[in-house]
Structure 1
Amino acid sequence: MPRHYRAASLLIASALVVVAVPGTAHAFGEDDKSKQPSKPSGPSGDVSGTSLMASVSNSKIKLTYPGGRTAKASVGELKSVDPNWEPPACWYEPVFSPEQLKDAVATGEGGLVNAHVWWSNGLWVDHYEKGKADNNFDLTLPKETRAEGYKNYNLGKKGMFWRSTVREGMYQDSKAWDCGRIMFWQDQGTIPKDKNAPTPETLAAFAYDKIKVPDTDVELKPQGRSTVNLPTWAWLDKATFKDVTVRADLPGTGLWAVTTAKPVALHLDPGTEDAKTFPASGDCPVNEDGSIGAPYKKGNAGQEPPCGIQYLRATSGEPYQLKASITWEISWEGTGGAKGDLPDGTFETTQDMNVQEIQSINR
């Protein structure tokens, strides 16, 4: 059987082409999709124990919401304030017990041995049943690194076979090739000694990607129509913005993390230079009771609001676009007392603001 890795290894770094050595292995890239084998139509599916195509881009990480889900009718996704931060592109997860793998090989015609490489059924048998060693596709490993084979799918042993998983939306990214090891065995109760092994922080970052925050308009007084040179008060009730928590568990590993998003500030952008904000920075902090700003009350006329805007010119035809963005502070805790912070996130909403002139008559 020809060595199916040599040609593929030269191409993995760019992740742009398909290697097709008939009857052996195929490395998927984003170009020349016509050469991809017809069997693996995509890196997705559910682990059923009979499919080697399962769980490549569909992680087995389970999400729960300890604080309850945000109302579905009004939610949005956070955007990190750090443009250079990204959750991990890939990591390894347990996917098959010995029994599941044997069943999958016996009933299938091949499948993904890592996130990008498809093996014919014969190669699965050679490596995982007959014990033949093979090369890894991971270019971060020394060239001489070999993946030792297995006898009879490790039946009778306690543990799982692990394989690479790629974060949603990252499959075509070159970083997704960092987890290039072919599927490997891991004893029960242990985590791989690999830089791309999952950690509590990996799960925390995965949960960050799934945080949904309230998409609620800021309360204004007056609402929707302001008057030139008169302050408009802005506030958010303490019941509107609460901490949002997402828990991520990776079954079979004992790893977990709870990621918490806490609202810490509201930033107002009037949508025009002909305006001033209160405070001058436009940043309204969260009060001790969890509210932001203060509602307008009778008797507040002539006072500057703790959070608000003052338009200096009336609108003409088109309303100003008032942008209100909430900053959410992100922290996490997880397995073994691990904890830390992730970059703050923001979510922005836009409201129409019509501004009128006060007409007066001189006698």
Structure 2
Amino acid sequence: MRFTTMAGAVLTASASALILSCTTAQAIGEDGSQAPPSGGSGGASGSTLTASAATTRIKVTQTGGGAGGSTKSLAPIDPHWEPPACWYEPVATPQQLKDAVERLKKNPNGDLVPVTPSLSWGEELMVNHYEKGQDDTDSGFSYKNYNLGKDGRFWRGVINKNRENDVDSYDCERTLFWQNTGTLPDAHAPTPDVLAGYAYDKIDVPQTEVELKPAVRSTVNLPTWAWLDKATFKEVKVRAELADAGVWAETTAKPVALHLNPGTEDAETYPASGDCAINDDGSIGAPYAKGDADRTPPCGVRYLRATNGTPYQLKASVTWQISWEGSGGTRGDLPDGTFETTQAMTVQEIQSVNR
């Protein structure tokens, strides 16, 4: 009886030992944001049935905002939040699975069939389990003639490539199993909330710097105004869809606040908390206008001490509120996200001449 791990080691053992023999999955496939080829005969190089553990059929598209310029991924404010580690996806029709096994019969030493993210089977196990209906692995299920004529697909676990070394990625080690059309697995199903979390991990937001006046050189005790134009930060929407399972989710990141950290204790922020709220029109703060030098800005900073050769590092972080909606009328919220930019600020003393 021949099987292998995804790491490439070919082993011989009893069927009972087979299910327990797993190693860390190796991600050698395509980027998760691209849907691999669908259809075809199955089992051939490049199909989802023989793809790597991190190759997903989830299609990710940005449906709004964030176009043009440089972008950056969001960092969840909640340090304990993570995108899903693994989930199940449909990977083969009955005919595709049969075709893959027929190729094994013609070339027993060729590519094996991955039946979990980290485990592959050879001809004997595949024939016994999916063609003859023999449960050699004590898994409690088997199939006759690949379920030809039945309406559904065989499913397998997929590992999130960003979490492939996490212990939670082993939660989807169920052997290649059957799922009727229109139904989802009882556990680790690609439900809308799972796709929403996956889409969150793909959100890129604009990396535009905050507008400042004065821009890079401030004066002690005079306020520096900070603002963002309403066109600078718009909602960013990312849609994740697993068409073969009939499931989708669209995750929306909405900018809600700007936080200023002047980079020194010898400074004051406006407002005192450093949190500048979004205005009703979507802008933040207010642009500096001629004659505003002595006014208090709605968003800004006032430095109390001049720099001495080394500029202060003004940090501006934008908070993005995350929500999602998905198939079946589902919706929910995810932890806020943030990203931070740093701008060097030189602060000078007011120069005066005594006569």
TM range (shorter): 0.7 to 0.9
**Kindly tell me: are residues 271 and 184 of structure 1, through their superposed partners in 2, closer, same or farther at Cα, counting changes over 3 Å?**
same
Deviation at 1:43, TM superposition (A): 5.0
Which of 115, 118, 122 is 1:116 aligned to? 118
* 1:28 counterpart residue number: 23
Conserved in 2, the CA contact under 8 Å of 1:18 and 1:29? no
* 2:67 counterpart residue number: 70
Aligned residues: 331
Conserved in 1, the CA contact under 8 Å of 2:238 and 2:250? yes
Which of 312, 333, 340 is 1:341 aligned to? 333
Whole-angstrom distance in 2 between the partners of 1:270 and 1:316: 16
Deviation at 1:99, TM superposition (A): 1.4
* 1:180 counterpart residue number: 173
Which of 50, 53, 65 is 1:53 aligned to? 50
- 1:101 partner SS: helix
Conserved in 1, the CA contact under 8 Å of 2:27 and 2:53? no
* 1:140 counterpart residue number: none
Whole-angstrom distance in 2 between the partners of 1:341 and 1:98: 38
* 1:262 counterpart residue number: 254
TM-score normalised to the size of structure 2? 0.87
Whole-angstrom distance in 2 between the partners of 1:206 and 1:147: 31
Tell me which moved more, 118-127 or 180-189.
Answer: 118-127
- 1:333 partner SS: strand
Letter of the 2:273 counterpart: S
> Which ranges of structure 2 fall in alignment gaps of 5 or more residues?
31-35, 105-110
Which of 198, 206, 214 is 2:190 aligned to? 198
* 2:135 counterpart residue number: 133
* 2:29 counterpart residue number: 44
1:203-352 paired onto structure 2 within 5 Å: 203-352=195-344
Deviation at 1:69, TM superposition (A): 5.0
Whole-angstrom distance in 2 between the partners of 1:69 and 1:327: 15
- 1:252 partner SS: helix
Deviating above 6 A after TM superposition, structure 1's stretches of 4 or more consecutive aligned residues are: 17-20
Letter of the 1:115 counterpart: P
Conserved in 2, the CA contact under 8 Å of 1:18 and 1:27? no
Deviation at 1:107, TM superposition (A): 2.2
1:81-100 paired onto structure 2 within 5 Å: 81-100=77-96
Whole-angstrom distance in 2 between the partners of 1:221 and 1:306: 13
- 2:254 partner SS: strand
Conserved in 1, the CA contact under 8 Å of 2:218 and 2:346? yes
* 1:106 counterpart residue number: 102
TM-score normalised to the size of structure 1? 0.85
Conserved in 1, the CA contact under 8 Å of 2:27 and 2:161? no
Conserved in 2, the CA contact under 8 Å of 1:235 and 1:307? yes
Deviation at 1:134, TM superposition (A): 4.5
- 2:315 partner SS: strand
Conserved in 2, the CA contact under 8 Å of 1:134 and 1:147? no
Letter of the 1:250 counterpart: L
* 2:154 counterpart residue number: 161
Whole-angstrom distance in 1 between the partners of 2:335 and 2:343: 26
**Kindly tell me: are residues 68 and 154 of structure 1, through their superposed partners in 2, closer, same or farther at Cα, counting changes over 3 Å?**
farther
**Kindly tell me: are residues 103 and 168 of structure 1, through their superposed partners in 2, closer, same or farther at Cα, counting changes over 3 Å?**
same
Deviation at 1:19, TM superposition (A): 8.4
* 2:33 counterpart residue number: none
* 1:33 counterpart residue number: none
Deviation at 1:229, TM superposition (A): 0.9
Deviation at 1:20, TM superposition (A): 6.2
**Kindly tell me: are residues 69 and 154 of structure 1, through their superposed partners in 2, closer, same or farther at Cα, counting changes over 3 Å?**
farther
* 1:354 counterpart residue number: 346
Conserved in 2, the CA contact under 8 Å of 1:200 and 1:338? yes
Deviation at 1:315, TM superposition (A): 1.3
> Which ranges of structure 1 fall in alignment gaps of 5 or more residues?
9-16, 31-40, 137-145
- 1:304 partner SS: coil
Conserved in 1, the CA contact under 8 Å of 2:71 and 2:205? yes
* 1:152 counterpart residue number: 145
* CA RMSD, 1 decimal: 2.3
Letter of the 1:162 counterpart: W
